[in-house]
């Protein structure tokens, strides 16, 4: 190799597998080599590629470069060796290999040898031991039951407080989707990079530490364009998803009714379709949600045409369901039953409140988006029966694709006599959560619907926390303990009778389409 490189004045390289067979011969230029796509070689969160790279270096660029180390980590090579060449002869040998996590913070080790005979004699045994050690350390850290291990990335122009809130929320979303969060990274950028979202250098750094920590996926808080998603996926052997895909995955897990499942699958397919370029594993990383779970599960081989067909048939099914729903709604209006929709940020306690008020038993969970399928229960107030509707929760920067997906569900809100807006009084971000709800209502053109505001989870608040929210005018309750619930019932009663009187006087209030 030294001889050839010197003669042609170009770097050369070999990729060699564990059996000692040369799989690639690479001829670069004076300054570098380009390692081809190794997608078809073995993969796995804790495994190395089973290939070592040996390259020559000419003249001034001696030794292992940072580029070599990036390749070593990103491609998970068994080892990277650089042969320094001078006057047609090999001078020194530099050998770099990864270290198991926890080795005093070092990710790799570089050794230099003067002669070939000094190199480790049984490299195969050495690398097998190393791989076993990496696997052992990573498995120890892996949380039982988690389907994936991930690094979360937030990039944007905002400051640290904002970024941390976003990352915390993304972590809750990830955990709801059964993903173990290994690291959270904040990268401040003034402008997004159209090709990779963030700078390629920084991105590589993230990927290196991700692979190093044995993660199986990277979750971006920012939505990735199809181009960005593909470019990033091409750089490495990891799944890449964004916040919208994460939320859709949770929706897929939580949807129970036929209508809900259809809506989620449609949204997943519509989101995936433009991201389907290329073949093989790059595609697999973008397809089929996270563990490939839920109604949105789609087999890899399904090509674009079949996805399109599936979309058409789902759209048809959805139309049929919409018709049914509108009939139910008409009947309700005919029966003159006012509907109160319980709305608010996800995890605020909407379902708990519905259960408390109507003595029902709808699903309550300390998870984001536990409720997807709206359920309506009767609430008896002395002489009047009203309906209470539990709804899908809201979230900051609700992805547009999700709003479209739940258009039918959200449209039901239009028929509400009023909203019961539930706030989580214990949330440190209550103001952001109010703002997110207001924004969504504005977009749906529902800001004018009368509202009863409820501060829930009051049982969790100490004196100081109570003071902090003392200016918010709302009924203060604890859906859990029952505190304040009678007052809330009175408010609903008051609202109903007030509006009945108004209606008798024949005053039309916009959107109050009941009694
Ligand atoms: N301490 C306390 N916890 C509550 C209260 N109300 C609800 N929770 C808890 O908050 C969590 C979320 O409650 P849910 O009723 O599922 O919230 P939700 O608004 O329906 O949430 P999504 O359907 O996921 O949007 C659960 O763990 C509840 O037990 C309350 O008044 N006090
Ligand atoms: Mg709920």
> What are 387-444's pLDDT values in tens digits?
899 988 999 888 777 777 777 667 778 888 899 999 999 999 999 999 999 999 998 8
Bridge partners (DSSP) of residue 340 are 388, 418
Range with lowest mean pLDDT among 31-40, 112-121, 301-310, 474-483: 301-310
pLDDT at 151: 92
Q: Name the residue at shortest CA distance from atom 14 of ligand 1.
A: 349
User: pLDDT averaged over the chain?
Assistant: 82
**Which is it for the CA torsion 448, 452, 457, 462, positive or negative?**
positive
**Which ligand does the CA of 353 lie closest to?**
1
- Please tell me the pTM assigned to this model: 0.78
Pocket test of ligand 1: the residue of 349, 365, 371, 426 to mutate, having most ligand atoms within 8 Å of its CB, is 349
CA angle, 34 then 37 then 39, to 5°: 155
Q: CA 395 to CA 345: how far, in whole Å? A: 6
Q: Which helix (H) or strand (E) holds 150?
A: strand 148-156
From the CA of 357, how far away is ligand 2's center (Å)?
14
Cα–ligand 2 centroid distance for 390 (angstroms): 7
Domains and CATH numbers, the chain: 2-141 (no CATH), 148-284 (3.40.50.11060), 335-504 (3.40.50.300)
- For residue 509, pLDDT over 70 is answered with no
H or E element, residue 497: helix 485-504
Distance of alpha carbon 262 from alpha carbon 155, whole angstroms: 32
pLDDT band at 214 (very low <50, low <70, confident <90, very high): confident
Residues with Cβ within 8 Å of residue 407, at least 6 apart in sequence: none
332 pLDDT tier (thresholds 50, 70, 90)? low
Pocket, ligand 1, Cβ cutoff 6 A: 346-352, 364-371, 393, 456-457, 459-460, 478-480
The minimum-distance atom of ligand 1 relative to the CA of 372 is: 23
Model confidence at 318: pLDDT above 90: no
Separation CA 418–CA 460 (nearest Å): 27
**What pLDDT shows up at residue 39?**
65
Q: Of 345, 315, 328, which is closest to residue 405 (Cα–Cα)?
A: 315
Is 50 exceeded by the pLDDT of residue 175? Answer: yes
> What number of other Cβ atoms are within 10 A of residue 163's Cβ?
20
Interhelix angle 66-74/200-212, rounded to 10 degrees, is: 50
pLDDT of residue 160: 93
Report residue 61 as tokens. Answer: 């660029």
Work out the average pLDDT over 205-231.
Answer: 83
Helix (H) or strand (E) holding 249: helix 243-254
**Residue 334: both structure tokens together:** 């005919």
Cβ of 444: how many Cβ atoms within 10 Å?
15
The alpha carbon of 118 and the centre of ligand 1 are apart by a number of angstroms equal to 64
Copy the structure tokens of residue 348: 């605020």
């Amino acid at each position: 190799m030294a001889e050839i490189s010197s003669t042609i004045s170009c770097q050369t390289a070999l990729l060699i597998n564990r059996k000692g067979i040369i799989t690639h011969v690479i001829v670069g230029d004076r300054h570098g080599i380009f390692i081809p796509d190794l997608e078809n070689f073995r993969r796995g969160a804790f495994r190395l590629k089973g290939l070592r790279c040996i390259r020559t270096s000419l003249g001034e660029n001696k030794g292992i470069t940072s580029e070599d180390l990036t390749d070593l980590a990103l491609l998970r090579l068994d080892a990277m060796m650089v042969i320094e060449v001078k006057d047609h002869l090999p001078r020194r040998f530099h050998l770099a290999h990864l270290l198991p996590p926890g080795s005093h913070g070092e990710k790799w080790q570089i050794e230099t040898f003067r002669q070939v005979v000094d190199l480790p004699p049984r490299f195969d045994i050495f690398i097998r031991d190393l791989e076993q050690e990496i696997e052992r350390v990573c498995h120890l850290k892996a949380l039982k039951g988690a389907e994936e291990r991930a690094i979360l990335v937030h990039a944007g122009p905002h400051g640290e407080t904002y970024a941390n809130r976003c990352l915390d929320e993304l972590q809750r979303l990830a955990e709801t989707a059964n993903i173990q969060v290994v690291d959270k990274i904040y990268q401040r950028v003034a402008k997004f990079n159209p090709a990779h979202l963030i700078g390629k250098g920084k991105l590589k750094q993230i990927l290196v530490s991700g692979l190093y920590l044995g993660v199986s996926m990277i979750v971006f808080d920012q939505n990735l364009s199809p181009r960005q998603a593909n470019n990033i996926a091409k750089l490495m052997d990891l799944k890449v998803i964004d916040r919208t895909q994460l939320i859709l995955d949770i929706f897929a897990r939580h949807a129970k009714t036929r209508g809900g499942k259809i809506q989620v699958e449609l949204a997943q397919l519509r989101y995936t379709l433009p991201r389907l370029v290329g073949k093989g594993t790059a595609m697999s990383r973008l397809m089929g949600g996270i563990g490939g779970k839920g109604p949105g599960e789609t087999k890899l081989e399904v090509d674009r045409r079949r996805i399109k067909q599936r979309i058409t048939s789902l759209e048809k099914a959805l139309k049929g369901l919409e018709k049914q729903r509108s009939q139910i709604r008409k009947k309700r209006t005919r029966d003159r039953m006012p509907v109160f929709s319980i709305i608010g940020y996800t995890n605020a306690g909407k379902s708990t409140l519905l259960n408390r008020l109507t003595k029902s038993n709808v699903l309550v969970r300390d998870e984001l988006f536990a409720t997807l399928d709206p359920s309506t229960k009767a609430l008896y107030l002395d002489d009047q029966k009203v309906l209470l509707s539990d709804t899908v929760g809201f979230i900051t920067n609700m992805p547009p694709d999700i709003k479209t997906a739940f258009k039918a569900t959200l449209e039901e809100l239009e028929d509400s006599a009023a909203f019961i807006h539930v706030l989580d009084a214990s949330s440190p971000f209550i103001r952001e959560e109010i703002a997110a709800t207001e924004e969504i209502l504005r977009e749906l053109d529902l800001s004018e619907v009368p509202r009863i505001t409820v501060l829930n989870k009051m049982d969790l608040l100490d004196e100081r926390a109570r003071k902090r929210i003392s200016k918010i005018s709302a009924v203060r309750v604890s859906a859990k303990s029952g505190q304040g619930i009678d007052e809330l019932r009175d408010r609903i009663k008051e609202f109903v009778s007030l509006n009945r009187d108004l209606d008798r006087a024949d005053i039309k209030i916009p959107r109050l389409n009941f009694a």
